[in-house]
Amino acid sequence: MSLLTPDVPFGLPTFALSADQIATVLDLVCRGTQEARGDVKPKMLEVPMTMIVRKAMRRVKKTLELTNLEVRGEHELENMATTDAAILGRIDITLKFLHQFGNEDAYVAIECKRVGATLSTLNASYVTNGVDRFVTGQYATGHEWGFMLGYVLALPAEDVVNTVDDRLRKTYGVVAKLTPETAHAMSLAILEGALSQKGGHAIRLKHIFVDMTPAA
């Protein structure tokens, strides 16, 4: 009987994350976005919003004295099989734990998207320009975990989660349904879903929804 599972790429332990490391990512993201919220302006676009969040995450990391990981800026993906200068894509935020150093393909991918109740175009983009990049293997090829960060611009968050979940099921089938998890104190919701990348590899996505409505 095989002891291998399709969730963990054989021979690539740098792609795996422990339960403690996953919890660290969730905590750092939630704390960072909470700290950044006061600097987010109405109608701010995704890129500057993510820059503010990324800087806040670095400050939180230093405060918590997390010395086992790095918070990195926008991560450019290159096709190492060719000699051309084409960029395959840019991941908004990446983290790198100590066990991942030395392997450029090993990182923790966090893709950020604005969403909101009644904001149908943004909610659709969360899937088509966010989740789908993990499914196609454009991001996190062969990885065990990926993370989606949803900046909720209009409440209630339940409407956003239901809309995203419905679109995921319609696009990738009922197996793509989101399973609610215990929310972080600084999040609106945390959910998990499993999807199949090209080649049949299973990747799990954590979906983190945080309040980015203008702070009072």
Instruction: Decide: 96 and 108 in contact? Cβ < 8 Å.
Output: yes
**Six-digit token string for 10:** 């054989």
Concatenate the DSSP letters of all residues of 104-167 into one string.
TT--EEEEEEEE-TT-HHHHHHHIIIIIHHHHTTSSSTT-SEEEEEEEE-SS-HHHHHHHHHHH
Between residues 184 and 3, the one the model is more confident about:
184
* Residue extents of the structural domains in the chain: 13-211
Q: What is the mean pLDDT of the chain?
A: 89
Burial status of residue 202 (CB atoms within 10 A of its CB: 0-12, 13-18, 19 or more):
middle
Question: What average pLDDT score do residues 18-41 get?
Answer: 97
Task: Determine the topology of domain 13-211 in CATH.
Answer: Restriction Endonuclease (3.40.91)
For 75-100, how does the pLDDT look when each residue is reduced to its tens digit (9 = 90+)?
565 554 444 544 566 899 999 999 99
Q: What is the pLDDT of residue 3?
A: 38
Range 179-186 contact pairs with CB under 8 angstroms and sequence separation of 24 or more: 184/26, 184/27, 184/30, 184/208, 185/30, 186/30, 186/31, 186/33, 186/34, 186/210
Between residues 171 and 8, the one the model is more confident about:
171
Provide the 8-state DSSP code for 185.
T
Q: Residue 36: in which H helix or E strand, if any?
A: helix 19-36
How many Cβ atoms are within 10 Å of 50's Cβ, its own excluded?
A: 24
For 131-189, how does the pLDDT look when each residue is reduced to its tens digit (9 = 90+)?
999 999 999 999 999 999 999 999 999 999 999 999 999 999 998 999 999 999 999 99
Q: What is the pLDDT of residue 135?
A: 95
